[in-house]
Structure 1
Amino acid sequence: MTVRTRFAPSPTGYLHIGGARTALFSWAYAKRHGGHFILRIEDTDVERSTPEAVQAILDGMKWLNLDYDEGPFYQMQRMERYKQVIQQMLDEGTAYRCYMSSEELDAIREAQRERGEKPRYDGRWRPDAGKVLPQLPVGVAPVIRFKNPTEGVVAWKDQVKDYIEFANAELDDFIIARSDGTPTYNFCVVVDDWDMGITHVIRGDDHVNNTPRQINLLRALGATPPHYAHLSMILGDDGQKLSKRHGAVSVTQYDDDGYLPEAVLNYLGRLGWSHGDDEIFNIEQFCEWFDLDHITPSAAQFNTEKLNWLNAHYLKLADDARLAELVRTRLQARGIVVTDAPALADIMALYKGRVANLNTLADEAEVFYIDLQPSQALLSEQLIPEAVPALAELVEELATVEWSAASIGALIKQVIGNHGLKMPKLAMPLRVMLVGQTHTPSVDAVVALFPRELALARIKKHL
């Protein structure tokens, strides 16, 4: 059997972190087993589906590098197929037309509630043997209902939640096509999974109640139901249901916030799944290890601090040229012209181990390309009188010294020795004059990043 999984988001909103985890797990399971991963856009909710949301899903998948083997397929482009299957079911007697108006159904449900019963369709248009159906009403467009089994149970061995069982008597004859002929969600999903040969459905546990209906429908069509794995919800840092304030935003927002996709993927891989005590792993290792057995059935809790820690780790490992391009884009968005000197990749090499995200890295790089104006208060605090003669000598010597961090470092040590100063007395004002900060990497390395003329100009400006 070739494993075939799918990710099937509805384009009624953005691809959020929960959907991204579902996509990752489905993708990795197919990769591990040499199977196929299918992307399907479930866009039958015409009123709420938007092209912008579709594009956001595609952009999010692309940013995460979750490539799909087939698709994207759009349900709205498969309407003829759905109508064909509905007619087949009507012909075979596994579906029927129901002429009950919405007002009648509401009245029935209200009466059931008053009697303390579960509100549901009462099956009055179900064509059972020997049953007399009501007289056909005039001018009422019927819906199509699935003729659900009334006896026994529908059960499955869930790959995450173990054995789950529903009594068929608890499931009413749900609508598979509305009165205007458009098919419903549960019906479209079943036909799609059947036609696309899906073997494993990995999705959120908010779909557990849909599963018995879908299994019965698949069996009525003569299809073998896939294996199901229902993932528990993700909670926010505070233990509450994940919302926008926790990170339930578009996946591309993580790009905007300065995260690397490999950090987000690593974090999502550990969100409700484990491989021993391993916390850090690349996507190849994840695909090699991933299974459904080690997905926890309990809710996973989002931890922003851990995500930030992972992102800092991956920034340290990232190629300097790649980081330079990512930061260049951010600087250009701020209206900053990035010149050839200092080389942006060299700045990345020096600063990437000190930050947790790309936006902070851009903040550090920005000062090398703007007309820096350190605050007067900071200058007055650091540029003390006893440091001025030493800085003047340093400027004079910097004009001819070999332009490397090692030579500049030796020169700085020589100058402070000549003036009987401690290193901070010279290094701190030097940092402020060059980059407007008191905390930087080694001051000789910072000086060496600048072109000689620019470094000298910044120091002289404040002397």
Structure 2
Amino acid sequence: MTVRTRFAPSPTGYLHIGGARTALFSWAYARRHGGTFILRIEDTDIERSTPEAVQAIIDGMQWLDLAHDEGPFYQMQRMYRYKEVIEQMLAAGSAYHCYMSPEELDHIREAQRARGEKPRYDGRWRPESGKALPTPPSGVQPVVRFKNPQQGAVAWDDLVKGRIEFANDELDDFIIARADGTPTYNFCVVVDDWDMRITHVIRGDDHVNNTPRQINVLKALGAEVPEYAHVSMILGDDGQKLSKRHGAVSVMQYDEDGYLPEAVINYLARLGWSHGDEEVFSREQFVQWFDLAHITPSAAQFNTEKLNWLNAHYIKAADDGRLAGEIRKRLAAQDVTVGDHPDPAQVAALYKERVATLNELADAAHPFYVATHPAAELRAQHFTEPALAALRELRGRLAAAEWQRAALSQVLKDTLAATGLKMPQVAIPLRVALLGQPQSPAIDAVLEVLGREDVLGRLDAVL
């Protein structure tokens, strides 16, 4: 059997982090077993689905590098197929027309609640042997309902949650086509999974209640039932269900916030799944190790500190040229043009071990490209007469120095010897003069990267 998995988001918003984890698990399971990963856009919610949301989903998948093998397939382009299957079910007697109005159904449910019963459709239009049906009202377009079995139970061995069972008498005859002829979500999903030969459905556990209905329809169609794995929800840092109020829940928001896609992938992989005590691993290692048996059935809790730690790890390991591109892109968004001098790859090398996000890296790089006039309180604190005298001495020596780190380090030492000051008494005012801040990587490295012209010009501006 060839494994075939699918990721089937609804384009009613961005690709959120929970959906991205589901996509990752489905993608990895297919890759692990040499199978096929399918992208399907479930866009039948016409009022809420938008082209922008479709593009956001595709952008998020591309950013995470979760390449699909087939698709994207769009449900709205498959309407002919759903209607074809509905006609087949009507002919076979596994579906029927129901003329009950929404108002009538609401009235029935209200009465059921008043009697302490579970509110549900009462089956009055369900054709049964020896049962007389009401006369169809004129001018009313019927819905189509699935004729759900009324005896026994529907059960499956969930690959994450274990055995799950529903009594059929708890499931009413749900609508598979609305009065205007458009099919419903639970029906479209079944036909898609059947036609696309899906073998494993990996999705969020908010779909558990849909599964027994979908299994019954699959059986009525004579289709093979896939295996199901329902993944638990993700909680925020505060233990509550992850939502917009927790900040970045859109996948592309993590890009905007300065996270590398490999860090997000690594973090999502560990969010409800584990391989021993391994915390940091490549995409290739994840595919090699991934299985459904080690997905925890309990809710996973998002930990921003852990994500930041992972991101810092991947930034340290990243190629300086790649980080230079990120610096250019992020400073361009602030209307700062980054040229070839100072070399942004060298700036990245200076700071990559000191930051947790690409935005922090861009912020650190900013003063290398925009000369910053030191704040008044920094000037008052650090530009004392001895410090300014030392900067004048240093400026004269730098003008004639070989512009190489070892030589610049020696110039600093010679300046200390000449002025009788200690390194912090010169280095900190020098940092303030050059970068507008009292802290930076090693000052001789900063001098080398910033370059002679900028260093002398910024010193002159201060002196």
Cα deviation code 1:412-455 (max 9, x no counterpart): 11210222211100000000001111110000000111121111
Cα offsets for 1:22-41 (capped at 9, x unmatched)? 01110111011110100000
Q: Which runs of structure 2 are paired with 1:239-258 in the superposition (5 Å)?
A: 239-247=239-247, 249-258=249-258
In the TM superposition, 1:118-267 aligns within 5 A as: 118-247=118-247, 249-267=249-267
Q: Secondary structure, in 3 states, of the residue corresponding to 1:273?
A: coil
Q: Kindly report the root-mean-square deviation, in angstroms, between the aligned alpha carbons of the 2 structures.
A: 0.9
Matches within 5 A, 1:403-414: 403-414=403-414
Contact 1:39/1:71 (<8 A) preserved: yes
Match of 1:339 in 2: 339
Aligned partner of 2:85 in structure 1 is 85
Say which is worse superposed, 388-397 or 33-42, in terms of deviation. Answer: 388-397
1:30-72 alpha-carbon deviations (Å, 9 max, x no partner): 0111101000000000011111111111111111111100111
CA distance in 2, matches of 1:139, 1:453: 85
* AA in 2 matched with 1:383: F
* Map of 1:329 onto structure 2: 329
Alignment partner of 1:351 is 2:364 = no
Aligned equivalents of 1:330 and 1:390: distance in 2?
Answer: 36
1:245 partner SS: helix
Confirm whether residue 61 of structure 1 aligns to residue 32 of structure 2.
Answer: no
Correspondence 1:278-293 to 2 at 5 A: 278-293=278-293
Quick check: 2:14–2:56 contact (8 Å CA) kept in 1? yes
Query: Are 1:377 and 2:377 matched, yes or no?
Result: yes
Displacement of 1:380 in angstroms is: 2.0
CA distance in 1, matches of 2:170, 2:210: 13
Distance 2:132 2:143 in 1: 19
Cα separation, 2, equivalents of 1:314 and 1:415 = 39
* Residues 191-247 of structure 1: per-residue CA shift (max 9 Å, x gap): 000000000000000000000000000000001110100011111101111111224
Distance 1:102 1:393 in 2: 88
SS of aligned partner of 2:210: helix
Residue identity matched to 2:293: D
Deviating beyond 6 angstroms after TM superposition, the runs of 4 or more aligned structure 1 residues are: none
In structure 2, the residue matched to 1:33 is: 33
Question: Which digits, 9 at most, give the CA deviation of each residue in 1:152-186, with x for residues without a partner?
Answer: 11000000100000000111110000000000000
- 1:103 paired residue number: 103
For residues 289 and 206 of structure 2, the distance between their equivalents in structure 1, rounded to whole angstroms, comes to 26
| In 1, Cα distance between equivalents of 2:248 and 2:418 | 59
SS of 1:367's equivalent in the other structure is helix
The answer (yes or no) to whether the contact 2:141–2:179 under 8 Å persists in 1 is yes
Gaps of 5+ in 1: none
Q: What SS class does the counterpart of residue 342 from structure 2 fall into?
A: coil
1:65-97 Cα shifts (integer Å, max 9, x gaps): 111001110000000000000000011111111
Q: Which runs of 5+ in 2 are unaligned?
A: none
Aligned partners of 2:371 and 2:435 also within 8 Å: no
CA distance in 2, matches of 1:238, 1:450: 43
Task: Give the equivalent residue in structure 1 for 2:317.
Answer: 317
Partner of 1:442: 442
Inter-partner Cα distance in structure 1 for 2:210 and 2:178 = 18
Distance 2:412 2:443 in 1: 9
1:445-456 alignment runs, 5 A limit: 445-456=445-456
Query: What is the alpha-carbon distance in structure 1 between the residues aligned to residue 461 and residue 183 of structure 2?
Result: 73
What SS does the aligned partner of 1:353 have?
coil
Are the equivalent residues in 2 in contact too, given 1:56–1:250 (CA < 8 A)? no
**Aligned-residue identity in percent:** 70
The structural deviation recorded for 1:248 is 5.6
* Residue aligning to 1:5: 5
Distance 1:253 1:276 in 2: 30
Match of 2:418 in 1: 418
Q: How many residues align?
A: 463
What is the TM-score when the length of structure 1 is the normalising length? 0.99
Q: Is the 8 A contact 2:158 2:230 kept in 1?
A: yes
Indicate the SS of the match to 1:280.
coil
Amino acid at match of 2:67: D
Please give the alpha-carbon distance, in whole angstroms, between the structure 2 residues aligned to 1:353 and 1:370. Answer: 22
- For residues 381 and 248 of structure 1, the distance between their equivalents in structure 2, rounded to whole angstroms, comes to 39
1:38 match: secondary structure = strand
Per-residue CA deviation, residues 305-351 of structure 1 (Å, 9 max, x unaligned), is: 11111111111111110111111011111111212211011000111
- The secondary structure found in structure 1 opposite 2:38 is strand
Q: Is the 1:18–1:248 contact (alpha carbons within 8 Å) kept by the matching residues of 2?
A: no
Partner of residue 304, structure 1: 304
Name the TM-score, length of structure 2 as normaliser. Answer: 0.99
